[in-house]
Structure 1
Amino acid sequence: MAPIELKELKDQLQELLERGFIRLSVSPWGAQVLFVKKKDGSMRLCIDYRELNKITIRNCYPLPRIDDLFDQLQGAMHFFKIDLRSGYNQLRVKEQDISKTAFRTRYGHYEFLVMPFGLTNAPAEKLYAKFSMCEFWLSSVAFLGHIVSAEGITMDPAKVEAITKWPRMTSVTEVRSFLGLAGYYRRFVKVSHVWPYP
């Protein structure tokens, strides 16, 4: 980790300890820690629970497809944005599962007492809204990279700009990345049967 990330890690660990969200751990489990930059420029502490998630039995109800969500919004006139206050941190982890949430840092080995972000089957229920960040009765709303309004669904202009100003690709990975983003908007492309050639 970079020095600025180490300082941020120390600060966030201290805050999580003070709020009673984590405690020191002696668990044999120990996921890695990393940071992801938020839209506002601040850093979000993330725990890499991929190995734990691989052995977790998943809940059996499917997530809705994006197209199905858009179909449900057809005809809607007013929209709401709801921001959850510390999201998963509102839910306690069962005592027998606390040790599985353990993570290792330079500053110690910790485990979560509340639901951390990133676990398979982390429920999205019984959560409370952060009303200062909520917006009500909007005529349009940004949703999953699209703008949804009473007139219909359009591409997010920021995403269109990213596609049109995409730098020249020099590797297969860059081509795949571009095709993934561009393909996400294929419903808006009039000639969608054209295949990309080098």
Structure 2
Amino acid sequence: MTKLLAAGIIYPISDSNWVSLVQVVPKKFGMTVTKNQHDEMVPTRNQNSWRVCIDYRKLNQATRKDHFSLPFLDQILEKLVRKSHYCFLDEYSGYMQIHIAPKDQHKTTFTCPFGTFAYTRMPFGPCNAPSTFQRCMLSIFSDLLEERMEVFMDDFTVYADTFEACLGNLSCVLKRCMKTNLVLNYEKCHFMVIEGIVLGHLVSNRGFEVDKAKIDVITSLPKPAVVWDVCSFLGHAGGSSETLARSPDLYPNCFKKMWILSLTKHRYTERQIRLLTRCRVGADSINLGN
């Protein structure tokens, strides 16, 4: 809170009609490489920072919704695959690089043990924040999209078929960032690499596949005992469902049946547990490439 206040991102306020509660959660920041249970080296994010989360549910209920569409995951991945070189860029506190109109700042008011404050920059939580941010990024890079880069929120992927072309595309993107005062987080940027993680998928000149670290999480989940155990599985596997659905026999049926089971109110039978086990084992053995 002290850092946000010193940076002018929040300010003290006492006369707002909107007050929301705050919670601070761990934030993953930076990358390292660790071994999984199969003795394979996989990239993992470090947790060495904190994120301030505001409960804006009451504000969101009263907000007129912005229905600007976010890009579809499969469309982005199809454009990125089979390139020779990539640059993966990440904005530094992306949302907070967008200013809030002074007349609306009081709506972001939150209370915490240190006092009551409001934001001057866009925080996480307001329902229209993702649409506002994506529209802004597309406006900034509109002439570079599809040919030189792809943008999903604060993640930029620059690509090309040759090293020289990728370097030229990177130069154009960095110049645009400088021109528009967009700040990048160098600790989360990767330059001139032949593969990397984009939206939970590994992209390269071979195509795309689900991030191995995500599959390790799915296969290591404990046996289900109650509804929430299956909900946990569906939550972890949901981000990979598009790719996993490429298995015509296993995943469409398993996900459909498991979703029905998750709506029940009782403990699971041995037959139902075997269904979950089949999905978990399948996630580890199936060909995940596109």
TM-score bracket, shorter-length normalisation: 0.7 to 0.9
- 1:17 matched residue in structure 2: 5
Q: How far is 1:153 from its partner?
A: 0.9
Pick aligned residue for 2:200 from 129, 137, 145: 145
Q: AA paired with 2:66?
A: N
Q: Distance in 2 between matches of 1:176 and 1:130?
A: 33
Aligned to 2:106: 99
TM-score by length of 2: 0.58
Q: How far apart are residue 182 of structure 1 and its match?
A: 3.1
Aligned to 1:33: 22
Write the mapping of 1:39-188 to structure 2, written as runs, cut at 5 A: 39=28, 40-41=46-47, 42-122=49-129, 123-124=132-133, 125=136, 127-183=182-238, 184-185=240-241, 186-188=244-246
| TM-aligned CA deviation for residue 188 of structure 1 | 4.9
Greater fraction helix: 2
Aligned counterparts of 2:194 and 2:19: Cα–Cα separation in 1: 46
Q: Distance in 1 between matches of 2:236 and 2:3?
A: 36
Query: How many Å apart are 1:143 and its aligned residue?
Result: 1.6
Structure 2: runs of 5+ lacking an equivalent:
29-45, 137-179, 258-270, 273-290
How well do the aligned residues superpose, as a CA RMSD in angstroms? 2.1
CA, structure 1 residues 190+60, in 2 after alignment: closer, same or farther (shift >3 Å)? closer
Between stretches 53-62 and 103-112, larger displacement belongs to 53-62
- State how far apart, in whole Å, the 2-side matches of 1:114 and 1:36 are: 19
Closer/same/farther in 2, CA of residues 179 and 59 from structure 1, 3 Å limit: closer
AA aligned opposite 1:170 = A
**Unpaired runs of 5+ in structure 1?**
1-12
Q: Percent identity?
A: 34
1:167 deviation in Å?
Answer: 0.7
**Bigger relative contact order (CA 8 A; separation at least 6):** 1
Residues 195, 204 of structure 2: 8 Å contact kept: yes
What count of residue pairs does the alignment treat as equivalent?
186
For the residues of structure 2 that align with 1:164 and 1:92, how far apart are their CA atoms? Answer: 42
Segments of 4+ moved more than 4 angstroms: none
> 1:96 deviation in Å?
0.5
After superposition, the Cα gap between the structure-2 partners of 1:78 and 1:118, relative to the gap in structure 1 and judged at 3 Å, is farther
Cα pair distance change 1:194/1:86, threshold 3 Å: closer
2:32 aligned partner: none
